[in-house]
Chains A and B, each alone.
Chain A
């Protein structure tokens, strides 16, 4: 099993550009989520999904969209990139939300100029 995969590993955008961060898992997990990690602030939840067709907002959803058309994939879209979105983005999955081990992808390092 590949676990949780994310692409790209690194990305540089200009302010105002849009892009999609890809996330896929092959563990048949129902729950998937996106976090951003900034220095000294831990991981903050952006959006999450409890199953195909169901998504919801986390702590910091503004400027991001998600969709979940399949169990395996959970892409994160930046609509109009801003320098404040410079961060490391992690996708995670688990069998169910909350009290269960989360498996993290390797992350995408995004810089917005």
Chain B
């Protein structure tokens, strides 16, 4: 099935700094979804991207889908302690099942 590689695995930032996580594939993706999981919690859907070059914003979060639809990124501007958690990308393959990346664990230092 589809494979997505996510980097970095861990990221520590000072509160107020920016943060970016990347999701890469060797094949063209039909869509990309992003989820956030707080420590001890469950994944929560953030957004879905389907179009080449698509950019969507949610307050301080900016999501991008690459022109070739082989990569995606999530950028957080001016991190806050409430941004702490693990961010996952996921994609639906030909069988329409979601495959998740391994996640980026974000720590925000006050």
Contacts and interface: CB of A to CB of B under 8 A. Distances in A.
Nearest to B50: A99
Given A42-B6, A102-B98, 14 more contacts: A33-B98, A35-B100, A42-B100, A43-B88, A43-B90, A45-B99, A59-B1, A98-B98, A99-B30, A99-B48, A101-B48, A103-B45, A106-B41, A107-B42
Closest 6 CB pairs of A and B: A98-B96, A98-B92, A42-B100, A97-B96, A104-B42, A101-B45
B25 interface: no
B66 interface: no
Nearest to A105: B42
5 contacts: A97-B98, A98-B30, A98-B92, A106-B41, A106-B42
Interface in B32-88: 33, 41-45, 48, 50, 88
Given A43-B88, A98-B92, A99-B92, A90 B42 contact: yes
